[in-house]
């Protein structure tokens, strides 16, 4: 509906449903109906059909990155497949890509119907009609499934605008997109981290939920690279500085904001503030936990994950057992997962191992929840990651027997660890684990391959970027 427009899409769907009301239809019948309606309204080039477009999106995997080269107001647009793990050969996939754009003197983010189409094996030149010092942003409202990489000058203009007083002239969905694109492109070496972090750091002024969601997701992606390094203090200082303004807005944990977006923003900010010890977050959350545990004082629903986690992190075995009992007593699925995630917040070896040990008992933990708990523990902290490694290594046979005959689930355990492995010795440990247990991993070959690819990509990141990243993280 984005690239055709809502009216054309709705009309095409209605005619398709009426035509096949009492008969069978195939995918191409839908594409044909939409193409006819698009031709009536002249929203597609005459030589292009909806089938031509959609086949490139539905019959192949992945998605593209659109690259921009600029001369004044003219931009040259090209595409290639975006990949986190770089292949040995140049990817051959290509897409029909609907292009929309806004500029500094034509702010048009609400227009998501495509003005141009980028095809395969070709470049497209667009005259945007702006001066060389005006920003240009592609993909209005981030409606298209593609990343955008600009030339250095345009990235600089965009960053200047984000850091300026009128940054909200850029639609919040595009602010989200700019953060995700910049950090994702930097991770694979297609954009320098100086530029990427300059874009990210505008978040200090942001007050909308979805750009914050993008920023914290991008930061979380970097955590494993710093867990066991001397740069973690620099990373922690960066996070604290980014959170300092927005946390003041939500520092009263008992205050319940109006509207779902505000509630989500408060929950997200509070979670990060407590994790990185901003203000009095940890103390206030722990007080709420104690009041809940002793007097059953109600905790705002959106803050329960944070409060339970902080109570477990600061508490002793008594607090851990209390939350575990709540998990056993609850019949609400979402509530049970909140308790499980909180239980992984402990920093004590005995509680980690007890938690993971219980995943082998189906009367306590459902089999489908065992991998979830393993993931919670592995992602909770560097200590949790280390204990997760030990658990998989020492209990691989018991895990295999527990899940038999559905032992392909062992591959999920492997991938969880592989995605967080960034050092050569960690990758070697994974390879040893696989080589010593090939029979147990017999149904997990694809997961093992994907996991090792991801780990090798992390190692490559460490070699390329780790040494020089400290300077760009300083606020």
Mean pLDDT of 386-415: 96
Confidence band for 47, pLDDT divided at 50, 70 and 90: confident
> What proportion of the chain, given as a percentage, has pLDDT over 70?
100
Tokens of 186: 């930097």
CA 468 to CA 447: how far, in whole Å?
32
Domains of the chain, start order:
6-54 (no CATH), 60-205 (2.60.40.1910), 215-474 (1.25.50.20)
Mean pLDDT of 302-319: 96
Which of 129, 118, 140 minimizes the C-alpha distance to 5? 140
8 Å CB contact between 352 and 346: yes
Cα-Cα-Cα-Cα dihedral sign, residues 41, 46, 51, 57: negative
Residue 366 has pLDDT above 80, yes or no: yes
**What are the start-end ranges of the H helices in 164-231?**
172-187, 193-200, 209-226
CA 60 to CA 206: how far, in whole Å?
36
CA 347 to CA 350: how far, in whole Å?
9
Strand pairing report for 147-149 and 64-71: parallel
Mutual angle of helices 382-394 and 396-403, in 10-degree steps: 70
8 Å CB contact between 96 and 63: no
Exposed e or buried b per residue across 33-47, where buried means at least 16 C-beta atoms within 10 angstroms of its C-beta: bbbebbbeeebbeee
CA distances (Å), origin 226, targets 69, 222, 473: 34, 7, 12
The Cα angle at residue 15 between residues 10 and 16, in degrees rounded to 5: 95
Cα-atom radius of gyration of the chain, to the nearest Å? Answer: 25
The per-residue DSSP string of 333-379 comes to HHHHHHHHHHHTT---HHHHHHHHHHTT-TTTS-HHHHHHHHHHHHH
CA 234 to CA 231: how far, in whole Å?
5
CA 353 to CA 239: how far, in whole Å?
30
Residue 1 has pLDDT above 80, yes or no: no
8 Å CB contact between 430 and 452: yes
Which residues neighbour 184 within 8 Å (Cβ) at sequence distance 6 or greater? 82, 84, 147, 218
CA 116 to CA 106: how far, in whole Å?
16
Looking at residue 252, its pLDDT comes to 93
Residue with tokens 């997990």: 444
Looking at residue 329, its pLDDT comes to 96
Mean pLDDT of 155-166: 97
CA 221 to CA 162: how far, in whole Å?
22
Count CA within 13 A, CB hemisphere, residue 411: 16
Count CA within 13 A, CB hemisphere, residue 434: 22
Residue 145 has pLDDT above 80, yes or no: yes
Return phi, psi of residue 414, to 5°. -65, -45
Confidence band for 244, pLDDT divided at 50, 70 and 90: very high
**Interval 80-90: pLDDT, tens:** 999 887 777 77
Tokens of 425: 């010795």
CA 285 to CA 85: how far, in whole Å?
39
Which residues neighbour 87 within 8 Å (Cβ) at sequence distance 6 or greater? none
Looking at residue 115, its pLDDT comes to 87
Confidence band for 335, pLDDT divided at 50, 70 and 90: very high
Mean pLDDT of 264-269: 96
Looking at residue 309, its pLDDT comes to 97
Residue 121 has pLDDT above 80, yes or no: no
**Share in percent of the chain as helix, strand, coil (round to 5):** 60, 10, 30
Q: How many helices (H) and strands (E) does the chain have?
A: 21, 8
Tokens of 375: 């993931």
Q: Look at the pTM and tell me if it is higher than 0.85.
A: yes
Give all strands (DSSP E) within 291-431, no chain letters: none
Cα 311–chain centre separation: 27
């Amino acid at each position: 509906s984005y690239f055709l427009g809502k009216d054309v899409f709705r009309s095409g769907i209605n005619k398709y449903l009426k035509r096949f009301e009492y008969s069978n239809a195939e995918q191409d019948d839908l594409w044909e109906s939409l193409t006819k309606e698009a031709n009536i309204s002249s929203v597609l080039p005459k030589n292009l059909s909806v089938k031509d477009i959609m086949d490139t999106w539905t019959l192949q995997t992945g998605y593209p990155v659109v690259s921009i080269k600029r001369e004044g107001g003219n931009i040259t647009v090209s595409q290639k497949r975006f990949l986190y793990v770089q292949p040995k050969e140049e990817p051959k996939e290509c897409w029909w890509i609907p292009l929309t754009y806004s500029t500094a003197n034509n702010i048009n983010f609400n227009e998501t119907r495509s003005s141009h189409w980028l095809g395969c094996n070709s470049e497209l030149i667009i005259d945007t009609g702006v001066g060389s010092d005006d920003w240009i942003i592609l993909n209005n409202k981030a409606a298209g499934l593609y990343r955008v990489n600009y030339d250095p000058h345009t990235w600089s203009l965009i960053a200047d605008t984000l850091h300026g007083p009128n940054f909200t002239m850029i639609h919040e969905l595009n602010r989200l997109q700019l953060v995700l694109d910049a950090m994702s492109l930097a991770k694979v070496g297609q954009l320098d981290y100086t530029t990427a972090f300059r874009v990210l750091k505008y978040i200090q002024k942001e007050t909308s939920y979805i750009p914050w969601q993008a920023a914290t997701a991008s930061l979380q992606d970097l955590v494993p690279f710093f867990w066991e390094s001397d740069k973690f203090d620099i990373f922690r200082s960066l996070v604290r500085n980014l959170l300092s303004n927005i946390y003041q807005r939500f520092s009263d944990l008992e205050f319940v904001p109006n509207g779902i977006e505000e509630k989500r923003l408060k929950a997200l900010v509070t979670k990060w503030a407590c994790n990185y010890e901003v203000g009095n977050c940890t103390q206030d959350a722990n007080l709420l936990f104690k009041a809940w545990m002793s007097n059953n004082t109600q905790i705002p629903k959106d803050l329960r994950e944070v409060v339970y986690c902080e109570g477990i992190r600061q508490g002793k075995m008594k607090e851990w057992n209390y939350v575990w009992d709540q998990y056993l007593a609850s019949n609400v699925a979402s509530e049970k997962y909140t308790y499980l995630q909180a239980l992984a917040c402990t920093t004590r070896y005995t509680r980690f191992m007890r938690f993971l040990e219980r995943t082998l008992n189906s009367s306590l933990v459902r089999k489908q929840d065992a991998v979830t708990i393993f993931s919670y523990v592995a992602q909770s902290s560097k200590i949790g990651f280390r204990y997760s490694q030990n658990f998989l290594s020492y209990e691989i046979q018991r895990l295999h027997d527990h899940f038999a005959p559905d032992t392909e689930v062992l591959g999920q355990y492997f991938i969880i660890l592989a995605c967080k492995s960034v050092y050569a010795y960690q990758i070697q440990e994974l390879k040893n684990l696989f080589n010593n247990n090939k029979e147990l991993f017999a149904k997990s070959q694809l997961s093992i391959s994907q996991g090792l690819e991801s780990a090798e990509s992390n190692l490559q990141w460490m070699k390329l970027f780790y040494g020089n990243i400290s300077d760009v993280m300083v606020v």
